[in-house]
Amino acid sequence: MRVAGHLQEYRSHGSLGFAVVRDRAGLFQVTLKKGETPEEVFATLATVPRESVVSFEGRVAENPRAKVGSEVLAQQAVVLSPAETPLPLGVVDKVGVDLDTRFNHRFLDLRKRENHDLFQFRGILEESLRSSFRDLGFLEVDTPKILRQGAEGGATLFSVDYFGGKAYLAQSPQLYKQMLMATDMERVFEIAPAFRAEPSDTLRHLTEFTSVDAEMAYIDGPEDLWRTIEALLSQTLERSRAALEKAANPLAARIASPRRPFPRIPFQEARKMLGKPPGDDDLGSEEEKALGELMGREQGSEMYFITEYPSQLKLSTFYAMRQDAHPEKTNYFDLDFGGLEIISGGQREHRLEKLKQQIRNAGLDPENFAGYLEPFRFGMPPHGGFALGLDRLTAKLAGLANVREARLFPRDRFRLDP
């Protein structure tokens, strides 16, 4: 049998040598015995630095004292790639390092078992989302990521040269999702990268992130979206927990089924709960945290909707439907999870003239959105949708303090490497 991986530890005791090697399945023990293993193998391993890539050939034998209940009795060993010393970052050492050091040497940081568990967790969560969307009748789609214009104007867009002209990286598939509602697809979802040039430097913001977007036609109001989100998240979390338990991933214990239905709190009521007067200014991150604590303590609810966002707050979100009876309110909402916003969405404006006026109210020219507006001229059903931040959801479920830890190679205002 041949096994290979990173050498985590090697020690020798008289006629025996023990190597602890790590691969994607975890740790395994290789035992060397004088008389069975060539002397040069002992000599080689005695000088090989930790984290070198090594290969062993031998036979498997049961050993109840080994962590996995068995060991490889080696007859041969080959150093496939020696590691330099000293290591810029410890893999198994219990020495704390700052996030910048971890991200600067991310390939070493990702060798840590807890990170292997984390990204297995994320992968299972993403696959569970896909399965749950399909169960709910959604079709997976792919939309362009290089655009002529953005969904909310140009303030938070990254511009790129496009054959001598200007284009932008997509901050959202919003406009395309809506166009697809005019095609009889009716229910679509997409899991894809998105880019937002927001000069934020917080524990919950990234400039490149994974957005889970969905759109539904023939809705009667935001309630249809709320019920869909409740079903989606409940199914996703149940699927994820079962798959993680099967994989013996310790993060399975962090997933609990949310209580349904999720509470609905009108925006002005949320302000009142926080001791704030009625107003149109948005809730800050500290206020969101305080509301999360209140909801957990008083209602035992970690997930809850904040509904009826003020129209004044959604001026740049020109596609957000304003309520006919109360035009100062929209049919837009957030879903917060323990004080952290993880979903935003709402009912879209499908009436062409109202949509054009809202584009003008946002300080934009409808002529610049001709391609987006064309489907609205030829029969656009009532529709709405939402976007979920996969990085935030992963971080919240896994108990991470910083959303950057939920990405393999995070991008923020100051990081473009590695």
CA distances (Å), origin 46, targets 19, 34, 167, 362, 383: 10, 14, 57, 69, 67
Per residue, the 3-state secondary structure of the chain, as one string, reads CEEEEEEEEEEEECCEEEEEEEECCEEEEEEEEECCECHHHHHHHHHCCCCCEEEEEEEEEECCCCCCCEEEEEEEEEEEECCCCCCCCCCCCCCCCCHHHHHHCHHHHCCCHHHHHHHHHHHHHHHHHHHHHHHCCCEECCCCCEECCCECECCCCCEEEECCEEEEECCCCHHHHHHHCCCCCCEEEEEEEEECCCCCCCCCCCCEEEEEEEEEECCCCHHHHHHHHHHHHHHHHHHHHHHHHHCCCHHHHHCCCCCCCCCEEEHHHHHHHCCCCCCCCCCCHHHHHHHHHHHHHHHCCCEEEEECCEHHHHCCCCCECECCCCCCEECEEEEEECCEEEEEEEEECCCHHHHHHHHHHCCCCHHHHHHHHHHHHCCCCCEEEEEEEHHHHHHHHHCCCCHHHHCCCCCECCECCC
Q: Could you tell me the CATH number of the domain that includes residue 19?
A: 2.40.50.140
Q: How many domains does the chain have?
A: 2
For residues 213 and 323, membership in a common domain is answered with: yes
What confidence score (pLDDT) does residue 152 get?
63
For residues 308 and 262, membership in a common domain is answered with: yes
What confidence score (pLDDT) does residue 43 get?
87
Assess if residue 250 is contained within a domain: yes
- The C-alpha atoms of residue 323 and residue 316 are separated, in whole angstroms, by 16
How far does CA 319 lie from the centroid of its chain? Answer: 25
Assess if residue 346 is contained within a domain: yes
For residues 249 and 297, membership in a common domain is answered with: yes
For residues 172 and 45, membership in a common domain is answered with: no
What confidence score (pLDDT) does residue 155 get?
67
For residues 82 and 118, membership in a common domain is answered with: no
pLDDT per 10-residue tile (average), the chain, 418 residues: 94 91 92 88 91 94 77 91 94 86 96 96 98 98 91 77 95 95 97 93 94 98 98 98 97 94 97 95 94 94 97 94 97 97 98 97 92 96 98 98 97 94
For residues 35 and 176, membership in a common domain is answered with: no
How far does CA 62 lie from the centroid of its chain? Answer: 40
Are the CB atoms for 332 and 317 separated by under 8 Å?
Answer: yes
What confidence score (pLDDT) does residue 151 get?
65
Q: Could you tell me the CATH number of the domain that includes residue 290?
A: 3.30.930.10
For residues 394 and 296, membership in a common domain is answered with: yes
For residues 199 and 58, membership in a common domain is answered with: no
Residue 8 carries which side chain, given as an amino acid letter?
A: Q
What confidence score (pLDDT) does residue 163 get?
97
For residues 197 and 301, membership in a common domain is answered with: yes
User: What's phi and psi for 237, nearest 5 deg?
Assistant: -70, -40
Residue that is last in its domain, among 71, 86, 101: 86
How far does CA 108 lie from the centroid of its chain? Answer: 21
Alpha-carbon dihedral sign for residues 53, 58, 59, 65? negative
What confidence score (pLDDT) does residue 113 get?
94
What confidence score (pLDDT) does residue 153 get?
58
Assess if residue 94 is contained within a domain: no
Taking alpha carbons only, the member of 399, 394, 386, 395 closest to residue 123 is 394
- The C-alpha atoms of residue 4 and residue 373 are separated, in whole angstroms, by 57
Assess if residue 164 is contained within a domain: yes
What confidence score (pLDDT) does residue 94 get?
76
Domain that holds residue 266: 113-406
What confidence score (pLDDT) does residue 253 get?
97
Assess if residue 102 is contained within a domain: no
For residues 54 and 138, membership in a common domain is answered with: no
Is the peptide bond between 327 and the residue preceding it cis, with omega within 30 degrees of 0?
no
- The C-alpha atoms of residue 233 and residue 216 are separated, in whole angstroms, by 16
- The C-alpha atoms of residue 401 and residue 403 are separated, in whole angstroms, by 7
Assess if residue 100 is contained within a domain: no
Burial class, 409, CB count within 10 angstroms (exposed 0-12 / middle 13-18 / buried 19+):
middle
For residues 288 and 195, membership in a common domain is answered with: yes
For residues 251 and 307, membership in a common domain is answered with: yes
